[in-house]
Amino acid sequence: MKKKDFIAQDLLSKIYQHAALRPEQRMSEKLPPERTLAEEYGVSRFTIRKALEKLASIGAIRLVQGAGNYINPDIRNNPLVYNSVTEKKFHQIAFRLLSLHKRLPTRDEQQMFGISDAVFLWEFCRLRYVENQKVQIEVSRMPADLFADMTRRIPEQSIQKYILGKGYEISHFLTHYQAVTVNQAQAELLGCKKGIAAMHILNRGMLKDGRVYEVSDIIDINYTCTYVIPFNQDNLTFRQST
């Protein structure tokens, strides 16, 4: 782990740790100055600045020019504090469409989308670039009755922005992660070695009216994620039972 990433993680840990204390015991809502942090961690102010920029990019702190760096209290209410993809701004991400076609759904897809066997799905495959580096292969399916205006240009942009632009309201995502290795076909598309570690991400996007608007199957070779997970005594009791 790079030093700036370690420092960002450590500062996040302290922010959450102090959130559990009584108000009078908490760390100041303002972080110590860069010079103080540099001395504490034994690094340059440049490294501290990069770590703080990382925290600012995920909404954990606010960088106020000439005034200091302030903790965003809302970050303490969000269990997902870091995601290597959503950390990036839209202008840092690009897509290249590999294929787009319309087909009838399988039985499982009928259940997932809540549609009949006569409702077509759009299916597209695309590469995601982050800062000009290929990092993801994504295969997505979307119900054609909700997105009749789908064209080859749309998957080469942000799908979320497309959804919101059509007036739909996104409610939440159901996401599953599994560690995998890259196969030969995936390695050729991503320009990496076969067998390297990757994350297999299955993502289901939900609208506020309960409909599933997209199901994505993703292979990511540069994915990291940090969660705050409260200790679950009930789960521990369950796992200890015979």
Please write the tens of the pLDDT for every residue from 198-230: 999 999 999 999 899 999 999 999 887 766 666
Domain-embedded: residue 16: yes
Same domain, 106 and 195: yes
- Domain end point (choices 52, 76, 100): 76
Tens-digit pLDDT profile for residues 151-203: 999 999 999 999 999 999 999 888 888 999 999 999 999 999 999 999 999 99
Is the Cα torsion angle 171, 126, 161, 140 positive or negative in sign? negative
Residue 111 φ then ψ, to 5°: -70, -45
Domain-embedded: residue 209: yes
- Domain end point (choices 43, 76, 109): 76
* CATH number of the domain where residue 169 is located: 3.40.1410.10
Instruction: Give the range of the structural domain holding residue 43, as residue numbers without chain letter.
Output: 3-76
Domain-embedded: residue 238: no
Same domain, 197 and 137: yes
Same domain, 69 and 95: no
Same domain, 120 and 221: yes
Same domain, 68 and 35: yes
Structure confidence at residue 25 (pLDDT): 43
Cα R_g (the chain), whole angstroms? 21
Domain-embedded: residue 168: yes
Domain-embedded: residue 234: no
Q: What global pTM score does this model have?
A: 0.70
Same domain, 99 and 60: no
Tens-digit pLDDT profile for residues 28-40: 588 899 999 999 8
The CA distance from 127 to 17, in Å, is 38
Domain-embedded: residue 242: no
Same domain, 154 and 219: yes
Q: Name the least confident of 15-24, 219-228, 229-238.
A: 15-24
pLDDT band for position 63 (50/70/90)? Answer: confident
Structure confidence at residue 22 (pLDDT): 47
Rounded to whole angstroms, what are the CA distances from 62 to 10, 50, 52?
17, 14, 9
Same domain, 60 and 167: no
* CATH number of the domain where residue 49 is located: 1.10.10.10
Q: Which residues of 152-183 are buried (b: 16+ CB within 10 A; e: fewer)?
A: eebbeeebeebbeeeebeeeeeeeeeeeeebe
> 94: which strand partners?
129
Domain-embedded: residue 57: yes
Q: Name the least confident of 73-77, 141-145, 211-215.
A: 73-77
Instruction: Find tokens 């039985």 and name the residue.
Output: 107
Tens-digit pLDDT profile for residues 81-129: 556 666 677 788 899 999 999 999 999 899 889 899 999 999 999 999 9
Largest CA distance in the chain: 65
Structure confidence at residue 219 (pLDDT): 97
Same domain, 42 and 106: no
Rounded to whole angstroms, what are the CA distances from 104 to 3, 107, 108, 207?
50, 10, 12, 22
Rounded to whole angstroms, what are the CA distances from 206 to 109, 172, 228, 239?
14, 5, 23, 31
Same domain, 71 and 138: no
- Domain end point (choices 76, 101, 128): 76
114 CB contacts (<8 Å, ≥6 apart)? 211, 212
Residue 214 φ then ψ, to 5°: -160, 140
Number of domains in the chain: 2
Token pair for 183: 């196969």
Which has more pLDDT, 235 or 55?
Answer: 55
The CA distance from 65 to 216, in Å, is 40
Domain-embedded: residue 236: no
Rounded to whole angstroms, what are the CA distances from 198 to 33, 157, 164, 203?
37, 23, 30, 16
Same domain, 141 and 200: yes
pLDDT beyond 90 at 4: no
